[in-house]
Structure 1
Amino acid sequence: MNLWQSLSTSWQFWAFLSALAAALTAVFAKQGVKGIPPDVATFVRTVVILLFVSVMLYLSSQFGVLKSLSRRAIAFLVLSGLATGASWICYFRALDLGKAAQVASVDKLSVVLVAIIAMIFLKERLSPISLTGIGLITLGTVLVASGK
C-alpha cells in the first residue's frame, strides 16, 4: 500500500486535516466578520459550503445516494444541521466580540462535551488516559480563554 492509500484510509489523517481546516476557518472568519453582522457572515459561509459540497457530490457521483437515505438518517442529519447552524451563528458572534485564539479554544470544548454526551447517550467508554486527556483539554481551554 502506498503512502496516499495509507493516509486516505486513516481516520487520524482526516481528523488532522479537519483540525487544520477548522484553524483556518477561525483565522479567515475573524477577518471576514469585520464590519458585517455575524449572521450575514454565517449566511455567506453556508452558501459557500452548500456550493462546495454540491460540487463534491457531483464529481463523485453521489447525488443518487440521497434517494436511499432512511427517515431515521434524515432526522438525525437534520438535527445535526440545526446544531451546526446554531454553532456557527454563535461562533461568528463570539469571533466578532473576542480574540480568535480564545474563541476557538472555548469552541473546542466541544471535544469535552462530545466525550461526555457519547458516554451518556452512546454508551461509549473512555480509558483513564482518554479521561486524562479530556481533563487536560478542559484545563487548556480555561488557560487560553483566560489569557488577556
Structure 2
Amino acid sequence: MRKTSVIALLLVTVFFSVLTGCKKDPAPSVSELIAKNWTLTKVEETNVTVYTRGATNNIRDYSKFRLNLSSPPTANYTDWDGIASTGKYTVPVDTRLVISDMNPQLTTSSGGTAGTIEFTINSIDAGTLVITRVGTSIKTGGTTNKYTFTNP
C-alpha cells in the first residue's frame, strides 16, 4: 500500500508540474505588433482598389510608399509620390495609429499642411496590418485611403 501511495504522489506531482509549466505567453499588444517595417501590398481609394503589389494594371503607382515603425517611437512615412517624412508614432488605443511631429509636414485635404496624420487600425496580426486614413487625401483627389501591409 505504501508503494502505491508514493507512485500516486509522484504522478500527481508530475501532472501538476506539466500543467504549470505549459503556461502560454500573453498575446502581444497592438503596440508590439505594429513596431515593424511594413511592406505595402494593396491600396483602396474610396473602396476602389488602385494598387496591388506586383500587378501590371495599377491605377496609381504606390511602389514608393513606405511605412517604417520598426524603431519606436520613430515613424518613417513615404507617400505614394515619394515625399518622405519622419515623425513619431503612438497607438493611443488598439484601433488608432497617430503619426505626429512630421517633418516635412504633409499636405492636408484642405490644401494646407499638417504635422499629424491619423489612421484607424482595421486589423493587425504578426504578419498583416490594415489601416484606413482618417480624413481624405488631397494627393489622391480627396479619397479615403485604406492600406494593406505585410511583414513576412
**TM-score when normalising by structure 1:** 0.22
| Greater radius of gyration (CA) | 2
Between structures 1 and 2, the one with greater strand share = 2
